[in-house]
Structure 1
């Protein structure tokens, strides 16, 4: 018989509801004269596009796991949309974008319970859209990041422990990285680090957390007979991810214009090139072209172009996609020969793909593409400063994300054991954790 869950989360939710009475809503502001209807319309669309990526990820991961774990794996993505949205509204937006505390994190009281967001001036980097829209756009990035981690510990994590872990991950890993990278006073931003849409903040943080999780939770009890449940789900998920990624990358221009168009174009070509490179590289190794390989390659290309999308040319985006696909493919092969049980290869695809993208931004970034790049041109143009800055950031963020995630896993495990029992794992998480079946 399943033990009832602790009432503490429900009590916390009730306290949040009670707190809303102390923060009454205010009338909508008259609006800034600088607000652009076109930019606002595009960013509303981009925000919706980024949100659909999380259900897309649910299908992408859900199709890869065994049939007895499809629903539990998909729910781990879906629940992020609920949990992170509430945290974001209460103090998360403040923690990421509030008044800077040492360039590392925001004051959690700046926009506590979203107070002042409606009537405040637009965000400095997005002067033509309402601040509330900027907040909602950034929320969607915060939602998908912890969801990305789930592929590493799929088929063996207790649901309530997972919920606790993603809350801690948001507070101590995601929010500080978002602040340091994208806040005007952020530490990494002021060092000259370029991350257009989340190579560091999203993919490297999730990738290193995934590696820490896979090591911490150890191998599944039975990995010999694993067969993907629905490869058609994987293809559907890939389509939704690719579709939504245009909001992810082109939306990070924070307006409708040339930069958004460039980001959309480089996103398209990098992903396409990576999908082809993955399939051709598999063929060179004697494997048959596969739907799974095509999908994984496309996603790796999307990951790798994310930090560079608004800083590079289309030809260079193709190079980024090809290089990332080959390197990630090699890391997947290496991982398969080790005892590391990263169930869905999150670290080789998202972690390594994000790092390759960060470094190649330092190789191919062109100041003629984006004037916001005040550091220097990339290594290919004979300048070294940007590449060294990107390399330093990659190393620093990697250490922070891996070590921080490991400590959070330890803390979570002390409060609520992370792994299900052997019997629950063999039964499948759909039944043992949720009493449901596909």
Structure 2
């Protein structure tokens, strides 16, 4: 067992776990002051629920034991891995303990679910959100993770590659889709679900451009900084080894978001006359989203180009909700869905060796498009069905008067900012 790689994976897992509190600050600063506890609690609720479900059965769905070299196409569950029973021991000759990989992937499940919550800020019931999160993770995230990341423990003790998105299309097109760290499984997946929930819950009271402004930009900047810091574990850690590929992913995780930050500010300056702190934070996150699937498959130059595109495109894409009439509160669709699609499709042209400019073949672009659209459609449809069922039974949205007053005290009995010790 390689102790260096084991330590690398465990540290990367800790970094990715930190991303969810970072997301809580990022989202918390973007909502109104009387909703900040509610918003941050949806991220922390995801940490608690996904941490438990992943250990109980999530891992057994996402990484079922397969015969070496076989491909997993359908939703499956591996009873031998319930409560991680099948991965408690380290096989002889393994590069690292299976539990290190389990821990790393658990943090992906947590952050993916938490991302969805940004679309329903200021108006969602916490209990309904938790029910949605548990069902959506079970029927959407866990199987989609299997489609993309399924390099689980095989019968011979090795890590087999069986996800149909990244490996199953090779027999048809000669190449599989590239998604190094989760452009499809995390960002397109969460973005599609966010769009579905935004449609199910409807618009906030008084929804219009300029009506809802971030109450705490310093929180937004702090959250973006924590996200960027944790993203090094997200991207470089996905190599599962401290090697040159991890180093390339690390450098690209600096280059792309830096370029995206600048591009977003330029678009803001041209469009609105002033570059903003929230724009800087949002641009960095957009670049991080776009580079996620591509971080190990691009040269740093093409990573900068991707970042510039992501910053500019996502800065414009967040305006779509006003033109199309859906209330994606914190721009999960404009940043994560659009950024994830951009980064995934960009690989079809610029991926090292297999992209169009290197190979002269459209095959990589075709498989990237199939992967992106498959995850988008699957997640959107099931998220809409789950959210609609919850709304029509126990109710997903708070009352309008509670939304106007601020839902922190109604839902959690707390206030984000207590300015006096005396309660009226």
Pairing 1:236–2:222 present:
yes
Q: How does 1:146-157 map to 2 (within 5 A)?
A: 146-157=113-124
Which residue number corresponds to residue 379 of structure 1?
356
Q: Distance in 1 between matches of 2:57 and 2:320?
A: 41
Which residue number corresponds to residue 82 of structure 2?
112
Which residue number corresponds to residue 130 of structure 2?
163
Q: How does 1:10-409 map to 2 (within 5 A)?
A: 35-99=1-65, 102-121=72-91, 127-183=94-150, 184-189=161-166, 190-191=168-169, 192-223=176-207, 225-367=211-353, 377-381=354-358, 382-409=360-387
Deviation at 1:120, TM superposition (A): 4.4
Q: Distance in 2 between matches of 1:223 and 1:64?
A: 15
Task: Structure 1: state its 5+ residue gaps.
Answer: 1-34, 368-376
Q: What SS does the aligned partner of 1:276 have? A: helix
Q: Distance in 2 between matches of 1:182 and 1:117?
A: 17
Whether the 8 Å CA contact 1:431–1:437 is kept in 2: the answer is yes
Task: Structure 2: state its 5+ residue gaps.
Answer: 151-160, 170-175, 417-424
Deviation at 1:284, TM superposition (A): 2.1
| Larger CA deviation: 324-333 vs 353-362 | 324-333
Whether the 8 Å CA contact 1:104–1:187 is kept in 2: the answer is no
TM-score, normalised on structure 1? 0.87
Q: Distance in 2 between matches of 1:407 and 1:153?
A: 16
Which residue number corresponds to residue 173 of structure 2?
none
Deviation at 1:339, TM superposition (A): 2.2
Q: Distance in 1 between matches of 2:56 and 2:246?
A: 30
Deviation at 1:175, TM superposition (A): 0.7
| Larger CA deviation: 207-216 vs 96-105 | 96-105
Deviation at 1:119, TM superposition (A): 0.8
Deviation at 1:121, TM superposition (A): 2.9
Cα deviation digits, residues 269-322 of structure 1 (max 9, x gap): 000000001001222224201101111000000000000011111001001111
Whether the 8 Å CA contact 1:188–1:393 is kept in 2: the answer is yes
Whether the 8 Å CA contact 1:92–1:108 is kept in 2: the answer is no
Deviation at 1:334, TM superposition (A): 2.7
Aligned Cα root-mean-square deviation (Å): 1.5
Q: What SS does the aligned partner of 1:74 have? A: helix
Whether the 8 Å CA contact 2:72–2:146 is kept in 1: the answer is no
Deviation at 1:116, TM superposition (A): 2.3
Q: What SS does the aligned partner of 2:87 have? A: coil
Structure 1 ranges of 4+ moved more than 4 A: none
Q: What SS does the aligned partner of 1:115 have? A: helix
TM-score, normalised on structure 2? 0.90
Q: Distance in 1 between matches of 2:266 and 2:327?
A: 26
